[in-house]
Amino acid sequence: MASRPELILASASPRRLALLNQIGIEPEHLVAAHIDETPEKGELPRKLAQRLADQKALAAQLKARESGFADTAVVLAADTVVAVGRRILPKAETIEEASDCLRMLSGRAHRVFTGVTLMTPSGAQKRRLVETRLRFKRLSPREMESYLASAEWRGKAGGYAIQGIAGAFVVKLTGSYSSVVGLPLHETVSLLAGEGYPVHFNWLNQSTLTAV
């Protein structure tokens, strides 16, 4: 019987690892994939999310091969893009970028696209692209100032983290919450199961909780 494939998570994001752990999946390897995430001229948000996920998967596989542990491993990569219309919001690194994002999102609808790529040992890529629609409340100057002071926005697409304080800003969400956090779990499980990864293995070992 063929041995089960190992899993390489092509990310240094603690959020994506936590989401995998939430559904009982512990990657055998973590390989950060550093790529140029600059949008191409005229590139649409959904295209950018999928392209970056593809490039992260490829970069991580090449890096893993150099270390000698990619021969039988599948590589999982994802990238999340926040957009208002066709405008792609940055992954905020400065308080000015975060402030611009909050002003753009305040009281408006926006979309979050997460591209997921699973790369097989042979180099084949299996993909999913998930779109989630959200609307923020109108933010007061005090709310914006306080959120910027929290620094929760740093490194986050669109300048916010829905799993943190910014969850209080969301009036409506249609689609996948986990995708907005950084990894759509339903689609990820589907991709992994399709490649023979035992996504349900650890579920069988979970302790049974008994109500008192």
Question: Which residues participate in catalysis according to the annotation?
Answer: 79
Longest CA–CA span in the chain (Å) reads: 62
Tell me if 77 sits within 8 A of 117, measured CB to CB: yes
Q: Rounded to an integer, what distance in angstroms lies between the CA atom of residue 63 and that of residue 37? A: 18
